[in-house]
Amino acid sequence: MSGTRLNKYIASSGFCSRRKADELIESGVVNVNGKIIKELGYIVQEKDKVFVNQKLIRPARHEYYKFYKPAGYITTSDDEKGRKTIYDLLPESMFALKPVGRLDKDSTGLLILTNDGDLINELTHPSVKVPKIYLVTIEARIQKSQLEEMASGIEIEPGKMAYADIIVLEADNKHTMMQITLYQGLNRQIRKMFEHFGYEVKSLKRIQHATITLDGLRRGEFKPIKPQQIKELRNFLNRISNS
């Protein structure tokens, strides 16, 4: 029988990830053609109508963009405090796209934007160690012992250990510029790791997320990610999730 599994159908609309779709199905809020469906393996046919919480779900054409976030903008679609968001810089046609992970207000660099819920889940799920690479500068000379401690792990919150692979690119008595690779997604992880040693991060820019890089973008610009690049990204995610 042709068709699409119900959880994949919901995720393909950009409504949520496939994992979240499973939870919605099991909770009894999904119906197909007016009938509640709790079977995870249910197959949706082309003419079927799928509703989640009485909202009609339609598969969306997946879109993938990379965006160079400037400083001063938060990574959200709405902010109750009235702060500037990345969507102030994007056309209305991209408002349905969600960022893969976040960058805090003062950080800059690469954000992947998409309506592909499955891809967002793969790139952010803690069970898959997806590398994210940053350029970071502090106004101090970092010590070798501190680099070793960050590689072996620092407790940045009770019960939360943070790790980072660090390559020093430039250093003198007044500053250190580093390339930092993270495999976790903890909130403000890099800043908190340096705060542990009494250092303040002066600049933080993400330059790569998995196989997608910031190359070819100026601050505030966005570009579609090419189909071949998405294929390479999926192949990379498959390799590291099975390793």
Residue pair 224/121 in contact by the 8 Å Cβ criterion: no
Exposed e or buried b per residue across 189-199, where buried means at least 16 C-beta atoms within 10 angstroms of its C-beta: bbbbbbeeeeb
Q: Is 48 a catalytic residue?
A: no
Q: What are 100's two structure tokens?
A: 């893969």
Q: What are 241's two structure tokens?
A: 């999730």
H or E stretch covering 7: helix 6-12
**Per annotation, catalytic residue among 48, 104, 106, 165:** 104
In sequence order, the β-bridge partners of residue 113 are 65, 99
In a 3-state reduction of DSSP, which class is residue 218? Answer: coil
Residue pair 225/212 in contact by the 8 Å Cβ criterion: yes
Provide the annotated active-site residues. Answer: 104
